[in-house]
Structure 1
Amino acid sequence: MCRMTNAFNYMELLQINLAELFRTETPVLELVLRASILYLGILFLLRIVPRRTGGELATIDLLFVVLIAEATTHSLGGYKSITEGFIVILTLMSLNYSINFLSYHSPLVEKLIAYPPLLVVKDGKLLRRNMRREFLTEEELMEHLRREGIEDVRDIKAAHVEADGHISFISKNGDR
C-alpha cells in the first residue's frame, strides 16, 4: 500500500498542464505597452546619467540586456505563462531593433540616443566644467593617462569621454 501511495505521488508530480503553461492571463496589448514604456523610460533615464556610469556597454545595449533579463525572470516565475514572457521579450527585441535601425538612418534619433564625445582636455589644459559633468576627477583622468603610457597632461592635444564611457587621447606629437 505504501509503495502504491509513493508511486501515485510521483505520478502527480510529473503531470504538466501544457495549456496552463502557455496560457496568457494578461492581455497581449498590455504586455506590449508595459514593455514599451519600460524600455523608453529606462532609455531616457540612462540618457541623463553620466556616460561613464554605463561602463563598457553603450547605453542602448545596457538597457536591452537589463530588460531582457527582467523579462526572462518574470517568464520564469512572475508571469503565469511562458507565452507572456516571450511576448515581452519579443517586444523588447523589436524596440531595440527599431531604435538601432532609426538611429542608423536618422541623425536626429542618433543624437537623441547616443552621447557625443565630450572634450575633457584641450591642448594640455583640463576642462574642469566638462569633467564635472561626467564626475571625472583629476586623479581618475591621470590614472587613464598612465594606463596609456602618458606621464603629463600637457602632452595631450585632446582627450574625450566617449559614448561608452572610455576616455580617448590624442597626444600633441600624434602618436596616439
Structure 2
Amino acid sequence: MWQDLMTIQIPVLEKVVRTVLVYALIVLIFRVIGKSAIQSMNTMDFVVIFLLSNVVQNAIIGDDNSLLGGAIGAVTLVTVDQIVDRLAYRSPFVRSLVEGRATPVITDGRLDRNALRRLGMRPAELEHAVRVQNGESVDQVWSGVVEPSGQLVLDLRTQDQSATQADVQALTERLARIEALLTAGAGGPTVSSTPRS
C-alpha cells in the first residue's frame, strides 16, 4: 500500500510540464471568455468551473494515481501561480498579458457600443450600475471602465455626484457665515441655526 502511494508512475519533469501547460490553458480560457463573464458568474458558470477542474485533472496527473504524484502536481500548480502573480505585480507587460487591460465603455455620457459588444455586456447592465452608484442615467457618467477583474467602475460628472459629508459641512459653515453677515448688517441679535433638542 505505502509503495503505491509513494511511487511516482510518470516522470517528475513530465508532471511539471503537464501542470504548467494546463495552467496556461486555463488562464487563456478565462482571458478569452472575457471580463464581464467573470464578474457576473451565475450558478451554471460555477458548475462549469467545478467540471473544468475534473476535466483537466487527468491532463495534469496523467496515469499517475500516487499520493506523491498528486503532491508534485499541486505544488507545481501553486508555485507557477505564485511566480505569475509576482511577475504580474512587477511587470505591467505581464499584468496586461495575464489579466488584460481596463476597457472604457462610457466616455462623456456616451456608450461605446463596440466595446460593449466585445465584452458581451448589455446597456441595461450599465444603466443598473449607474443607478447603484446614485446616478439616474448613463448621460450623468463622465467615464466608465470595466477593470480586468470584471468590475465596472463609473465616475459620475461632478454636478451629478451625491453630496458628501464634507460638502454638507462646508455648506453649513457657509450658511452660518452668511447668517452672521446678515445679522450684523441688520443690527439684530444672532439667531442660532442649529435646532434645539
C-alpha contact 1:122 1:159 (8 A) present in aligned 2: yes
Q: TM-score, normalised by structure 2?
A: 0.67
User: Which is higher, the Rg of structure 1 or of structure 2?
Assistant: 2
Query: Aligned equivalents of 2:100 and 2:81: distance in 1?
Result: 17
| TM-aligned CA distance change 1:99 to 1:105, over 3 Å | same
Query: Can you give the 5+ residue segments of structure 2 that lack an aligned partner in the other structure?
Result: 42-48, 163-197
Aligned to 2:104, the other structure's residue is in SS state strand
Q: TM-score, normalised by structure 1?
A: 0.74
C-alpha contact 1:56 1:164 (8 A) present in aligned 2: no
Equivalent residue number for residue 155 of structure 2: 170
User: Does the alignment pair 1:100 with 2:85?
Assistant: yes
After the TM superposition, which parts of structure 1 deviate over 6 Å for at least 4 consecutive aligned residues? none
- CA drift at 1:89: 0.7
- CA drift at 1:169: 0.6
Query: Can you give the 5+ residue segments of structure 1 that lack an aligned partner in the other structure?
Result: 1-16, 58-64
Higher relative contact order structure (alpha carbons within 8 Å, sequence separation ≥ 6):
1
Query: Aligned equivalents of 1:153 and 1:129: distance in 2?
Result: 16
Query: Aligned equivalents of 1:105 and 1:49: distance in 2?
Result: 25
Aligned to 1:129, the other structure's residue is in SS state helix
Equivalent residue number for residue 21 of structure 1: 5
- CA drift at 1:52: 1.3
Query: Aligned equivalents of 1:55 and 1:124: distance in 2?
Result: 23
Equivalent residue number for residue 189 of structure 2: none
- CA drift at 1:149: 2.2
User: Does the alignment pair 1:139 with 2:124?
Assistant: yes
Query: Aligned equivalents of 1:27 and 1:140: distance in 2?
Result: 49
C-alpha contact 1:103 1:110 (8 A) present in aligned 2: yes
Kindly, what percent of the aligned residue pairs are identical?
24
Residue of 111, 118, 139 corresponding to 1:126: 111
